[in-house]
Amino acid sequence: MGSFKSSVFILVLHLLEGSLSNSLIQLNNNGYEGIVIAIDPNVPEDETLIQHIKDMVTQASPYLFEATEKRFYFKNVAILIPETWKTKPEYVRPKLETLKNADVLVAESNPPGNDEPYTEQMGNCGEKGERIHFTPDFIAGKKLPQYGPQGRAFVHEWAHLRWGVFDEYNNDQKFYLSNGKNKAVRCSAAITGKNAVNKCQGGSCVTTPCRPNRATGLYGKECEFIPDKEQMEKASIMFSQSINSVVSFCTEKNHNKEAPNLQNQKCNLRSTWEVIRDSEDFKITTPMTTQPPKPTFSLLQIGQRIVCLVLDKSGSMTSDNRLKRLNQAGRLFLLQTVEQGSWVGMVTFDSAAYVRSELVQINSGTERDALTKRLPTAASGGTSICTGLRSAFTVIKKKYPTDGSEIVLLTDGEDNTISACFNEVKQSGAIIHTVALGPSAAPELEELSKMTGGLQTYASDEAQNNGLMDAFGALSSGNGAVFQRSIQLESRGLTLQNNEWMNGTVIVDSTVGNDTLFLITWTAQSPQILLLDPSGKRQDSFTVDTNTKMAYLQIPGTAKVGIWNYSLQASSQTLTLTVTSRASSTTLPPVTVTSKMTKDTVKFPSPMVVYAKIHQGALPILRASVTALIESVNGKTFTLVLLDNGAGADATKDDGIYSRYFTAYDTNGRYSVKVWALGGVNMARQKKIPQQNGAMYIPGWIENGEIKWNPPRPEINKDDLQGKQVCFSRTSSGGSFVASNVPNAPIPDLFPPCRITDLKAKIQGDKLINLTWTAPGDDYDHGRAYKYIIGISTNILDLRDKFNESFQVNTTDLIPKEANSEEVFVFKPESITFENGTDLFIAIQAVDKVNLKSEISNIAQVSLFIPPQTPPETPSPSLPCPDININSTIPGIHILKIMWKWIGELHLSVALG
């Protein structure tokens, strides 16, 4: 098992060898090059923002250098400027840099007022993150009291992005019990401060002490740890880089292993510096002996999209209806996917290349229709991919430099001469998207995508899986604003017999509806088509092309919101339906689904993880139904339900990123991935800002012994959310990957249960411990484990490092449930003295039926707290009432004096008592 885990870890660490990250970052002589910081197209033009970005990186570089013991610094950064901003002589056209592959995105706060910097992290400990997010106000330094200097926060986020470490604070649990005492979740524990509550009402606030819950002993959620402004402690950047004295990461010497934070939970109690030290970056560098130079910057402005289709028309394209399917998918791209204003050219190739169209700007349907007529209709000859690419470069150069242009390369043929033009491809500055069609496409094809940051896709000859349509539908601009992009609502196919019907529904939600296209294809005869809009009105205006065997309907204006019903009837043939649309508004972000895998190459028995991110703007969409369809090179398909439960392959619960392990390999070769997402009545938007992996919001500071509070961390007001429509349907291509070392059937069981990452423990009743966790499977997060081993210890490191020697709980009656079910187990520690103030640490290991064991779970902690007994109330002594004759005629002033005298005696009596 040890060697297997090591091989998985090594695979994770490689950025460019198998990783699906499109980042252009490279580490060269200790300096990070190729960093892309993009300004979102929706950010209003503000030249000072560019200078603020430069200042942030320049400030961050020496801080990073010292924090990493003189190993790393920022060498050069490209700032990507929106097309809508004014052009300047110093702005040049990007090459491979795009909005889609940017490492840092500067975008308007969503919701307004939320300027929290954060990093998307889909993976687990040690795996690189996706992207850093900043807002213009944060970059401009308007949030200094809450997050500290921008350069320091950038280093905090960089550690998330580059090395896969996690935060050392916890907004959801700010305190924990250790030896019966409340301690703030922090790292290191030497950070000093006070615990306090800020109570505000009617515009005025008062500071009060934190009070423990009488039942649990823990401080309430309103209690905050307020750090001293002046500190001596140097660690840790992943707790709060905004503290002036903090200039380093926690090491194994000062790391707070007991703190219930994500770093401990995800990284098996390892400090952030230990994780960084295990990274590939660390292994290939040595400390510098001189100070690094300041970062340099290049200013790149996004321009018009330039695309050239390079399409295979060799003799093998006559097989399995490939040429017809190429025409159908090409029409989808030209009629719908490519954005208005783009320049498009076309080249076909066999053993030679043929220019079918010079660059034409898409201004209307006229240009789109003209280009569709240039798609190839006959196939013959051999396959020379480099010839096609060189011809495309020539076509582009007639009008524009090839820098930043795109080539969509489709081929089904073997060509062992592709490497002959690798250098030309690298020097061109063009991005190449590859579409491998059928089982025999050249195995080197994907290298063209890897070296240029392009999308790689694969489509089998199984037409009903609609893979070629999905591949071309995924080719929207990497630089366009979200409202310009084509969004795929549906992608279905079915082989029908004996006048059978293909029935279904498509949901057009309120965030889409512009430029909506219904496209139907068939393999023999035109089917009967019935399409009803949400009002029940039949839509009959399909354009039918019997030669290409397709029909399409463009809905004028904005399509009606609601459920569209379709019914297609045919016999002895395969039908497909593809529906695409665009955002209904330039201000309301549409619901989007993006999908990907962990790697683009995988060696058995390493698992693959499939991810689908579902968001509306920055807000995650929860409780959607998400399914991945994975198709192998031999046409076999596997269905995978993706989950956002924070267990198994899913790193974080309720962040709108759904994921699952894939282990059902059946052959070597290419696999394609498609994701279906459906939001229904159970779907929800996140109603509050979840803790994201990012710099901590400091609630306040202690200066000269006095607490100075910052404004409270903003929360989303659900009434501010636009668009209440909750039903939607989406499909998304996740590209493709290549599997190797898959043995012949029967495939051996080499997959252990996945690690349990959400173990929680609490005390209940008479020293009983209640455990909850999400069940792993027999193979990672699939199936059912055979048994559990539960270990307990009073020493957290002994439990981690000597789990097999720990006290073991009797689990005879604990039968594992199906993967992803909730497990609950209650036990009473028998082997350990469990007294008031005792800290107990618990971990679980799952075992499958062939005795493969999972990694040890995250370690849960309980601290036995016995509430102090409440002393019995003693009745106050009764005091004699003053002898007052109520019928007397004493003046009222005398009565008042007597009452005050009596009240004074009462106070004296209570005080003395």
Q: List residues with catalytic annotation.
A: 157
- Cα–Cα dist 865/443, whole Å: 63
Residue 641 buriedness (CB in 10 A; 0-12 / 13-18 / 19+) = exposed
Asked if 388 and 448 touch (Cβ cutoff 8 Å), the reply is no
Unique residue bearing structure tokens 């929706």: 42
Q: What are phi and psi of 346, to 5 degrees?
A: -145, 135
CA proximity to 436, closest of 154, 175, 229, 738:
738
Asked if 686 and 619 touch (Cβ cutoff 8 Å), the reply is yes
**Residue 389 CB: number of other CB atoms within 10 A?**
25
Beta bridge partners of 300: 80, 92
- Cα–Cα dist 581/490, whole Å: 10
Indicate the angle between helix axes 47-67 and 150-163, nearest 10 degrees.
70
Tokens found for residue 324: 């017809």
**Type of residue found at 173:** Q
Q: What strands, in cross-sheet order, belong to the sheet with 26-28?
A: 26-28, 31-33, 73-74
Q: How far is CA 23 from the centre of its chain?
A: 15
Helix (H, G, I), strand (E, B) or coil at 801: helix
| Gap between the terminal Cα atoms of the chain | 71
Unique residue bearing structure tokens 């307004």: 112
Residue 868 buriedness (CB in 10 A; 0-12 / 13-18 / 19+) = exposed
H-only helix segments in 90-236: 136-139, 144-147, 150-163
CB burial string 433-444: b at 16+ within 10 A, e below: bbbbbbbebbee
Peptide bond into 295 cis (omega under 30): no
Beta bridge partners of 448: none
In order, the DSSP letters of 159-176 are HHHHH----S--SS--EE
CA proximity to 468, closest of 415, 514, 521, 507:
521
Residue 11 buriedness (CB in 10 A; 0-12 / 13-18 / 19+) = middle
**Type of residue found at 615:** H
